[in-house]
């Protein structure tokens, strides 16, 4: 029998870990994605995502059922990642700098070229995000990869909608400047990937 999210939450609130693990199964991808984009390494993302779910489970009695569970869990993951970045000043590494034990391959049986391309693009994305302030980075991630509205981002990051607007405006400007810089510098991987993206967009 397939249980609804509300039923699973109700069960989990009484201490049923199996019920909560079904919620973990459902939301692992967006939570991991946020943590990965925020922290930049699969290992850090795995740890942060696990910790976010642990915190959510332990704080389940404080969860407001009128609020979306997805927004709530992403809020925990985003804020935990922001705290991690502030505490440890995690350096965003490129995909090449770490073993990918906690990251599933892009799709079943990818070709080496595709893997290389994804790595290149990932390095580019992380390089662009690296210079953004923590909260701005979280706002960008929620908007671009999770299609969150200003209001949803505001709720997730505990900000006002106008603050989200101004943060996203500032972030877009910083990212565009970074992008322009990267096209000028001669970092081989990043430069090649940036040029490829430029070519892709010109052909669209």
Partner 1 sequence: MKHQQYENWILMDEELNKEQQRDLHRHLKQCSQCQALYQASHQITHLFKTMPEPTPAAGFSTRWLKQIDKAEKRKNRLILFITLGGISLATMILLSTVGLELRSVMGSFPQMMFELVTLIANWFVFFNQISDIITPLFRVGAKLLSPVWLYVSVFGLSGITAAWTISFYRSRGMQKELNQ
Residues that bind partner 1 (CB under 8 A): 17-18, 20-22, 24-25, 28-30, 32-33, 36-37, 42, 45-46, 49-50, 53-54, 57-58, 101-104, 106-107, 118, 121-122, 124-125, 128, 144-145, 168-169, 172-173, 175-177, 179-180, 194, 197-198, 200-201, 204
Minimum gap (Å) between residue 14 Cβ and partner 1: 15
Q: Between 41 and 66, whose beta carbon lies closer to partner 1?
A: 41
Do 139 and 171 form a contact (C-beta atoms < 8 A)?
yes
Q: In the numeric block, which tokens belong to residue 170? A: 């500032």
Nearer to partner 1, 41 or 135 (CB): 41
Q: Which is nearer to partner 1, 66 or 188 (CB)?
A: 188
The least CB distance from residue 80 to partner 1, in Å, is 14
| CB of residue 145 to partner 1, shortest distance in Å | 7
Helix H, strand E, coil C: the string for 108-125 is CCCCHHHHHHHHHHHHHH
- Angle of helix 17-39 relative to helix 5-13, nearest 10 degrees, comes to 100
Least gap, CB of 2 to partner 1 (angstroms)? 16
Min dist CB 133 to partner 1, Å, is: 16
Q: Which residues contact 53 (CB under 8 A, 6 or more apart)?
A: 20, 24, 27, 31, 73
* Listed residue (30, 23, 27) closest to 3, CA to CA: 23
User: How far are the Cα atoms of 1, 15, 26 from residue 19, in angstroms, in the given order?
Assistant: 13, 9, 11
8 Å CB contact between 98 and 41: yes
Residue number, 1 or 204, with CB nearest to partner 1: 204
The Cα–Cα gap between 119 and 141 comes to 18
Q: Among residues 20 and 72, whose Cβ is nearest to partner 1?
A: 20
């Amino acid at each position: 029998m397939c249980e609804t999210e509300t039923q699973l939450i109700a069960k989990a609130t009484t201490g049923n870990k199996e019920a909560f693990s079904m919620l973990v199964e459902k939301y692992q991808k967006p939570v991991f994605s946020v943590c990965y984009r925020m922290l930049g390494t699969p290992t850090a993302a795995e740890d942060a995502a696990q910790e976010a779910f642990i915190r959510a489970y332990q704080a389940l009695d404080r969860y407001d059922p009128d609020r979306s569970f997805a927004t709530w869990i992403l809020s925990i993951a985003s804020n935990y990642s922001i705290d991690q970045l502030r505490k440890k000043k995690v350096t965003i590494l490129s995909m090449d700098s770490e073993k990918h034990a906690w990251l599933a391959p892009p799709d079943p049986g990818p070709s080496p070229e595709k893997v290389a391309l994804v790595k290149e693009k990932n390095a580019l994305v992380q390089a662009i995000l690296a210079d953004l302030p923590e909260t701005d980075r979280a706002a960008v991630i929620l908007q671009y990869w999770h299609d969150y509205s200003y209001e949803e981002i505001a709720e997730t990051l505990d900000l006002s909608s106008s603050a989200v607007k101004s943060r996203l405006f500032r972030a877009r400007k910083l990212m565009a400047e970074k992008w322009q810089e990267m096209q000028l510098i001669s970092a081989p991987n990043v430069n090649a990937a940036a040029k490829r993206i430029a070519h892709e967009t010109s052909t669209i």
